[in-house]
């Protein structure tokens, strides 16, 4: 039986991982880019943001550069 917090991959446009520079307990995954922007812009720190290629056999985490973050209007 599936749990309610499981999400089908066809319902997700993308997956991002946010890594806090000082505290690992604040790291989180996000699959909604608009909510991610709101959460990032609230904080005073600049986290590392990774795009997760979750459809592969072994997921790959690609770190966004500053230019990519500006293009997405995240920071």
* 50-to-7, 34, 64, 72 alpha-carbon distances in Å: 20, 15, 6, 13
CA distance 54 to 17: 11
Domain spans of the chain, in order of start: 13-20+28-65
Q: Which residue has the higher pLDDT, 1 or 4?
A: 4
Say yes or no to pLDDT of 60 above 90: yes
- Is residue 63 classed as helix, strand or coil in its secondary structure? strand
Say yes or no to pLDDT of 31 above 60: yes
| pLDDT band, residue 4 (cuts 50/70/90) | low
**CA triple 24-57-17, angle to 5 deg:** 25
CA distance 27 to 44: 15
What integer pLDDT is reported at residue 55 of this predicted model? 81
């Amino acid at each position: 039986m599936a749990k309610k917090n499981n999400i089908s991959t066809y319902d997700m446009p993308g997956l991002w991982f946010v890594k806090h520079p000082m505290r690992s307990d604040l790291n989180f995954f996000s699959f909604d880019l608009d909510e991610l922007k709101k959460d990032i812009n609230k904080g005073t720190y600049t986290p590392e943001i990774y795009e997760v290629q979750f459809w592969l056999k072994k997921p790959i985490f690609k770190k966004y550069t500053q230019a990519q973050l500006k293009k997405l209007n995240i920071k």
